[in-house]
Structure formats: structure tokens, C-alpha cells
Structure 1
Amino acid sequence: MFKSRSNQKELLDQEEIPAGDLYQNLRELDFINNWLGGYAVSFAALKKIIPSGSAGKSYTLVDIGCGGGDTLKRISKWAKRTGLQLDLYGIDIKPVCIDYARSNVKNAQVRFICDDYRNFFKHIPKADIIHACLFCHHLTENELVDLIRFALTNKSTLVINDLERNPLAYYSIKWLTRLFSRSYLVKNDAPLSVLRGFKKKEWKSIIEKSGAARYSVYNKWAFRHEVIIYGNTE
């Protein structure tokens, strides 16, 4: 079952999820991502694409499929520690996620938008960086090609932090969530997310179909991929 991506939809992709169940899911996902070092993949990618000596210059970053805003909260703290000036936006199509995010990220300079990511230029004039953390495995291959082309058309650098489809990752997260999770969404979706994840060669194939000229794909701890499709950041 690891030879090709699963087409099974996650419970999180359903239209109606009780708010309390979704909030429990978001809290546990933040803990898992932090504990396994998942946020570090995004920090490393941002350091690669923002030129050294850029103090005083501001960059606009939009996190698509932002969920509860935890990734943006972590990026905001990291940017302050490293002296980077980032104007941060989060966009998610689910109103319940945006409601949670606005409460969750009250003390950080982050603005949230409830809409499809393809509409965010109706809300803001530009995005130097489009960031997608654990969002792309929810998309089909054609939707991923469209996402890359969307970024390139709008001269944005696309940073993707997502899962590697790997047997060890699958069985590890399956047993860990079975033992410690209180969320039926996490128990179902965490291992399924791995099955919907990618192989490195699949990323390269998807990117080449998009027509992107400059990109990089790296394997990262733990069972992650750091994908950068370069736009006009540099």
C-alpha cells in the first residue's frame, strides 16, 4: 500500500465537523508537529529563501490551509528570534478553523482570512512567500500542479512542508496515536495522512509537470519533505 498515494479522504476533509472535535484535533496536531520537529522544516526552508543581510526588509508570507494557526504562531516567534520582518497571513476555507486560529494566535501579529487560497489576492496585494505545511497531502496531483502554477503566476516562492510516505512513519504514528491520542480524528487521519504523502520522485514529477524551472526537494527529519519552488523572493 506504500507504492502509490492513497485516494481515501481524511475525516478532516468532511464539510461538517463538531467544533469541539476539531479543536481537540488541532491541539494534538500542534503537539505532534512540535514534538517530532516538523516546524523546523519550515524554518530551514525560510532561511534558504530569505537573503542574508535582509534586516530592515519586510516579506509577506501567506500560510495556506492554515488550520488553527499554530504554524504561523511558531513562525512568528522564530522570526522575532532571528530578527526577520515577516507580515504573516493565514487563509483557510473552514470558518471554524479561522475562529479557532484568531483565538489561538491572539498575541502574534498574524491576520487570518476565511476563503479559498486561490482567492487570497482579493484580500492582499502580494505574497513573497506562499507556505503550505501539511496541506498538500490533502490535494490531488492535478491540484498540486495548479497550486505550483498559481504561485509562479503570481511571482511567489512556494514552500512546502509535508509528509513522506514511509512504512516506518505509518506504523509509528498509528501506534502512538492509538496509545496517546484522545481524538478520533487524529487516530484516523494521522496514519492516513502518511499514506496520502509523497515519495521524493513523485514531488519531482509533479513539479516538472507544472513547468517550474527552479526548485529543490529534500528529505528531512522525521519523514518529511522540504520542497521549495522559487519565485521572486531573491
Structure 2
Amino acid sequence: MDRPDCDPLLLERTYAQFPLVNRFVSGWRQVYVALIRPALPRNRTGTILDIGCGGGDITRNLFRWATADGFDVRVVGIDPDARAHDYAVRSAAKAGIDPTLLEFRRAASSELVSRGERFDVVVSNHVLHHLGPVELAGVFADTERLARTLAIHSDIRRRRSALVFFGLATLPLDRSSYIRRDGLTSIRRSFTADELSRVVRPEWHVYSPGLYRNLAVWHAPAALP
């Protein structure tokens, strides 16, 4: 998927299939209820940033869940890939979501830092395993500067059984998209909980909810505005 010359039709189908896959493997509804919802303000407009949002399905879900819970919220999804950005914008438009409340930008986290932007909650899904050591350190540092209250980077937890189960479950999708190939590659590249604990910055904590997830979580010091 990351290759600039990948088949555009297969890539489009991959973005379209991500909501189904993420519904079963990402666990974001539980993360929203347990961590994000308590961190959103009730007395003003809350803000959420999704770094590396891809086709935007997690971003859209966070917006829907927060508004359904009565929050006045603005959600921004960023991704440097023009193809992902285009798909995310089109999908939000088809869903009839106000682009002033759910915004997608073609950008990297460092660009938002340079503009001095801040968000109550900053998240990412399946981004960490794509990054080299320098990029990884940069994203963690950017996140701390962007998040007022809470940051959560969710990623795959590498286990041999994950390769087996995911490979079997996605066999029907093998030729219709990049889901299976990209997913198996991502599992191989991902961290164990111990490995992720060794690369996060101080004050971050790594949790492993379930067999195949890692959460790197950071709470802003209380003294910060």
C-alpha cells in the first residue's frame, strides 16, 4: 500500500475494506469509552487529532461516537499520502458530515507542531510499525506537543498466532485488495509489548489489551494548559 506505484483500484478497495477489518481487530470503541470520552471537555468545543488517518474510518467513528454522546467536538485527520487524503475527504462527504467539524488534511504531525496547533486528544492507529527509529521518536515528540490532555497510539502486537489467524480470516480478500498482504506485513513489522516499551519516550505507558493490541498512552502533566 505504501508504494507510490501500487494498483489504484486495489488501493481503493483496501480503503473501502478497512472499516470492516478495523471493527474486528482495532478495538477503538473500547478505547474511546475507557480513555477518550473521559478526556473530552463538556464546557467547550473538544478537539481530537488522528495522525496517519489513512482512509479516515477511525476518524469518522471517533466523530460519530463523540457527537452521539453529546460532545461539541471537532475532529481532524491528517495523512501525508494524497491518495488516502482524497479517499477520506470523499468518504466524509458521502456520509454528509460537515467538513468544518470533521476535517481531513494532507499533512504530517510536524507541520501542525510548527503552526502551534493543540488538540485535547491525539491518536493514531497502525502507524507506529511503519516508522523507522528517527521517525518514531519524532512522532512521539510531536504528539506530546500537540496533545493538551491525552495521547494514544494504538498498534498491532506481534504474535505468531496473529499471522495465522489474520492470514486465514482474510483469505477471501487476497485478490480483491491489499488488506491481506499489507496486514501480514504489518504484523511482522509490529512490536511486542516489551519492544514498544523500550522505544517510547519517558512518561508514556504501554498496555496490551487483548492478545494482539498494544496501546502507548500519554497523559499530559496537570500543570500544562
Q: Partners in 1 of 2:8 and 2:113 — Cα distance?
A: 28
CA offsets, 1:2-24, max 9 Å, x none? xxxxxxxxxx2212333322110
What RMSD, in angstroms, separates the aligned Cα atoms of the two structures? 2.3
Instruction: Give the match for residue 3 of structure 1.
Output: none
Of the three residues 193, 210, 221, the one matched with 1:221 is: 210
Instruction: Give the match for residue 202 of structure 1.
Output: 195
Q: Partners in 2 of 1:134 and 1:37 — Cα distance?
A: 9
CA contact (8 A) 2:109 2:139 kept: no
Of the three residues 38, 47, 58, the one matched with 1:60 is: 47
Structure with more relative contact order (C-alpha pairs < 8 Å, separation 6 or more) = 1
Segment drifting more, 26-35 vs 174-183: 174-183
Aligned positions of 1:138-217 closer than 5 A: 138-154=130-146, 156=148, 157-207=150-200, 210=201, 212-213=202-203, 215-217=204-206
Q: Partners in 2 of 1:147 and 1:38 — Cα distance?
A: 22
Q: Which runs of 5+ in 1 are unaligned?
A: 1-11
CA contact (8 A) 2:63 2:74 kept: no
Q: Partners in 2 of 1:99 and 1:155 — Cα distance?
A: 26
Residue type matched to 1:197 in 2?
Answer: S
Instruction: Give the match for residue 93 of structure 1.
Output: 80
Q: Which runs of 5+ in 2 are unaligned?
A: none
Offset, 1:72: 0.9
Q: Partners in 2 of 1:56 and 1:133 — Cα distance?
A: 28
Segment drifting more, 119-128 vs 195-204: 119-128
- Asked whether 1:38 is paired with 2:30, we answer no
CA offsets, 1:69-123, max 9 Å, x none? 1111111111022223321111111111111111101223311111223112466
CA contact (8 A) 2:152 2:215 kept: yes
Instruction: Give the match for residue 9 of structure 1.
Output: none
Offset, 1:222: 5.4
Q: TM-score, normalised by structure 2?
A: 0.85
Offset, 1:59: 2.3
Identity rate, percent: 20
CA contact (8 A) 1:38 1:221 kept: no
Shift in CA distance, 99/120, structure 1 to aligned 2, threshold 3 Å: same
CA contact (8 A) 2:113 2:145 kept: no
Of the three residues 62, 74, 90, the one matched with 1:103 is: 90
Q: Partners in 1 of 2:113 and 2:72 — Cα distance?
A: 21
- Counting matched residue pairs gives 216
Shift in CA distance, 152/124, structure 1 to aligned 2, threshold 3 Å: closer
Q: Partners in 1 of 2:78 and 2:12 — Cα distance?
A: 17
Q: Partners in 1 of 2:146 and 2:53 — Cα distance?
A: 20
Q: Partners in 2 of 1:86 and 1:124 — Cα distance?
A: 19
Q: Partners in 1 of 2:196 and 2:15 — Cα distance?
A: 26
CA contact (8 A) 1:132 1:160 kept: yes
Q: Partners in 1 of 2:110 and 2:176 — Cα distance?
A: 30
Q: Partners in 1 of 2:221 and 2:10 — Cα distance?
A: 40
Q: Partners in 1 of 2:72 and 2:188 — Cα distance?
A: 36
